[in-house]
Structures are given as C-alpha cells and as structure tokens.
Amino acid sequence: MFATVNITIENIVLIGSLLLLISILVGKTSFKFGIPTLLLFLTIGMLAGSEGLGGIYFDNPQIAQFIGIVSLNFILFSGGLDTSWSTVKPVLRVGLALSTFGVLLTALGLGYFVFLVTDFTIYESLLLGAIVSSTDAAAVFSILRGKNLALKKNLRPTLELESGSNDPMAYVLTIAFLGMVVEPEKSLWSLLPLFFMQMAIGAGAGFLFGKISKWVINNIRLDFEGLYPVLVIALMFITYSTTDAIGGNGFLAIYLCSVYLGNQNLIHKKTILGMFDGLAWLMQIVLFLTLGLLVFPSQIIPYIGIGLLISIFLIFVARPLAVFVSLLPFKMKLQRRFYISWVGLRGAVPIVFATYPLLAGIDKANIIFNIVFFISVSSVLLQGTTLGKVASWLGVGLPEEKKLSHPTDVLKANHPKAAMKEMLISEACPSVGKKIVDLKFPKNSIIALIERDGKYIMPNDTSVIHADDKLVILADSGENLEEVSMALQKS
C-alpha cells in the first residue's frame, strides 16, 4: 500500500508543476518507441494517483469535468485556428457526414451490441455508445501533426475536420440518452428538438461570434502584443458560455468561430496562433493527467474482459460500418475508407463525457466510466501506434523518399487546392517599406513565406516588405493572385 497524498492549496502548485515537467520530459522521447504522448500523460496521472507511486488522492468528477470542458475549449479552438478553409472546403461534405451521421450510427450500433452482451438496459447501452461515438480531436491532432504523417490527397484534412467537428454530436447524444436513463418514460422522438436546437444555435452563434471576434481583435488597439492572445481567450470563453446559456452547443460554436478566425486577416495573428498551439498542448497534458488521477486501476480490472470485447467491436465493426454507410454518397477509394475507419481514435473526450453519468448519479455510472476509460486507452494504444504502418499497408501514405522538405513544396502539399505564386519585389515597387497589414490584399489571400537573402521567413502582419524579397502567395484562385499583384503595385 502506498501512502495517500491529499492535494491542498499549499502543495497543488508543486505537485502540478512536477507532474507537468515529468510529462514533458517523458513525452519528449515517446515517439522513438512509437507510443503516443497522450497515452503517456494518462499513465503518469495513474501512477501519481492514490493507487500508484505518487499516492495522490483525487476523486472529484465535478472538478475533472470542469477541467475537461476548459481543456476542450482550448484544444478545439487551436485546431480550428490551424484549419485552412481552402484545404477543408473540398472535403467539407465528407467531413460533416462523418461528424454527424457517422457519430450517430456508431452510437446506435455500439449501443445495441452493448445491450446484447451486458445486463445494461437499452438506454444505458445507448448512453455508453454515445459517450465513445466521436473521434477524439486531442488524440488525432497530436498524433497526426506530431508524427507529421504525409497522407495522399485530402485524407488528412478530412480526418482533422471530422475529429474537430464531431464532439458536438457526441455531446448531444450523451446528454439526450442520459436523460432517457434518468427518465425512461421519455420518447426517443423527444431527442430531435434538442438535437436540432443545439446544432442550429451552435452553428449560428459560432459564425456570429467569429465575425464579432474579428472586429474586436482588429479594432481594439492594445498597447502590448502579448495581450492579443489573452483577448482571444476571453472571446473564446464568451463564445462557449453564451452559446451554452442560450441552449446551443458551445463546442460547435467555438470550433466554427475559430475556423472563421483562422482564415481571416488578424492583427498579430502569428502571435495568437503560436500562443494557442502551446496552450493546446498544455491543456492536453493537464486533461490527461487529471483523468489519470481520477481513475482507480483496481476498479477497472473487473471490466477488462467486457471492455476488451466492446473495444474490439467498436474498432473493427461499429466504426467501419458507420464510416462506410456515411460515405456511400461519395466517390472514394476503398483504401481511403478503411483508413478513415482506422483513425477512429478515442481519447480524453469520451472520458470527460463519462463523468456526466457519475454526476447524474445513475446506477451503472461507475461501470460505464471504467469501461469507457479502458476503451479509450486500448484505442490510443492500438490505433494510435499503428497509424503510419496502416497508411503504408493501405497505400494512402507518402513514402519517406517522396516526402517534401522544401518550404514551397510543403505549402503545396498542405494546400493542394490553393493557387500559389512567387512574386519578386523590385526596388521601384510601391509596397517596399510597408507592413503586410497595410497592404490591401483581397480576402482569402496571404503571404505565406518571404524569401530574403537565401532564407525563408514566416511573416506576420507587422512584417515589412523589402526590395528583392520573393513573396510566396497563397490564394483561393488564380483571379485572387492577379488581384494580389495589382494590390502590391498600387500600395
């Protein structure tokens, strides 16, 4: 037996910082062994818990849920900011089909299987299915971007769009089926108004707050550049909480708001993006450490058998069936469909959603939580460690020797639908000496790179154009590129 350490105000900073430092140092070497960093963060949390070496006692689902919601705000917002509309636009219908219809089919299929193999009621089974129905954005973003997997055509943006936009559907289903467990006399048809209200208000609020946020960021002149990320954080939480307060889906709202902002010209945009990238990693670590602390490994052991059975059915049957049915209206090679099925990673989000039954106090809440935890761990362990190999087997990954390293080649690979042009700035060009933010560029056009003295520079809004600079321009179309040329000459 290990001594139990209670978390107090006096030691919480020390304990938290030590766990954070250990997670970063261990995560630094994790990819050498092919182990996803998020799984290591979760393991460190478990080892630090009351039944591990650390002996830290933490059994508060309410605090864990709060940390989970805050963390998901940052993770989804950061993912949205990094999403290029020109990349997402060609796969928008596919991504939305997977994030809505695909999630629903996964929840129903897995729920019915759980009903057949356990003593759960049909509503308890559907609740478990809903909790694990979505692909986890934290897991997908960190693994795909951390391993820098090079995938053919539009496969990667499809996977990132699905994972970033399917949590709202899973959340609505979780809340709906939880209500059915608490009040079994309710009709299934009563779920429809809740679903449409959450999605419609969430989508509308997301775009509205995106436009409002853009205006606020570009028109409020702050004295310090470092305050702009803080301003965006405030806008992010206002978007989520206001949408939630009026009956909409806050997760959908902040994702759409961030996608909109990420594709607009913003003051100090590079600083904002860099800050949110770091904060997203911090929140992922904090989230997984917290969920690891919340778990009592001894309580999971009795459910390993049924958890493994459910996990295998989810990975090899429910998820593939949902993907194939959802993608029936679209032309897509069989190998790509199989790979999308395999990248159905479950991670922190299902565990956070599993705290809702705990707080509601339903009879099988602890059983559901422990099974969901096992499913998430097994999914990240099996699928997360094999994404590269499966991509190679299915022929959807680019061979190592064909991966692109030149900056402009990387841009072309990441933005296959975008028009690109390199423009040399002469000494007589009116744009020389001006800041990028002052150039009257058309919308959906950006200076992605500046080649200066043989080196590539990642510009921001305050970067100044020099004579003999070679600008690498990205635009939605060739017409926009011509407008860019005219803007540079008229500036």
**403-442 pLDDT per residue, tens:** 444 555 555 545 555 677 788 888 888 888 888 777 777 7
Q: Are residues 415 and 392 in the same domain?
A: no
Q: Are residues 385 and 251 in the same domain?
A: yes
8 A C-beta contact, residue 36 and residue 30: yes
- Number of compact structural domains in the chain: 2
The per-residue pLDDT for 206 is 96
Give yes or no: residues 441 and 388 share one domain.
no
Are 224 and 335 within one domain? Answer: yes
Residue 15 lies in a domain: no
Average pLDDT, the chain: 84
* pTM score of the predicted model: 0.76
Domain that holds residue 371: 59-278+311-396
- The pLDDT-based confidence of 402 (bands split at 50, 70, 90) is very low
State which of 396, 415, 442 marks the end of a domain. Answer: 396
Look at residue 403 in the predicted model and tell me its pLDDT. 46
Question: What CATH number corresponds to the domain at position 459?
Answer: 3.30.70.1450
- Asked whether residue 240 falls in the same domain as residue 388, the answer is yes
Give yes or no for residue 367 having a pLDDT over 60. yes
> Which residue from 209, 97, 71, 207 is spatially nearest to 161, judged by alpha carbons?
97
Q: What is the mean pLDDT of residues 96-104?
A: 94
- Mean pLDDT on 74-91: 85
Answer whether residue 270 is part of any domain.
Answer: yes
Report the pLDDT value the prediction gives residue 203, as an integer from 0 to 100.
93
**Residue 349 sits in the same domain as residue 476:** no
Q: Which two tokens stand for residue 175?
A: 């809340």
How many beta carbons lie within 10 A of that of residue 400, not counting itself?
8
Strand, helix or coil at 149?
coil
Same domain, 370 and 422: no
Task: Give pLDDT, residue 1.
Answer: 45
* pLDDT digit string, tens, across residues 200-225: 999 999 999 999 999 999 998 888 88
In a domain, 300, yes or no: no
110 occurs within a structural domain:
yes
For residues 477 and 327, the model is more confident at 327
In our burial notation (b when 16+ CB lie closer than 10 A, e otherwise), range 359-375 reads eeebebbebbbbbbbbb
pLDDT of residue 29: 57
**Residue 420 domain-assigned?**
yes
Q: Are residues 203 and 259 in the same domain?
A: yes
- Of 396, 427, 453, the one marking the end of a domain is 396
209 shares a domain with 93: yes
- Greatest mean pLDDT among 4-8, 199-203, 282-286 lies in 199-203
Co-location of 348 and 212 in the same domain: yes
Is residue 348 domain-shared with residue 457, that is, in the same domain? Answer: no
Do residue 389 and residue 411 come from a single domain?
no
Question: Where do we find the tokens 């609020």?
Answer: 205
Residue 27 has pLDDT above 70, yes or no: no
Using the 3D structure, point to which of 396, 421, 449 is the last residue of a domain. Answer: 396
The verdict on residue 6 lying in a domain is: no
For the cut 90, the answer to whether the pLDDT of residue 167 exceeds it is no
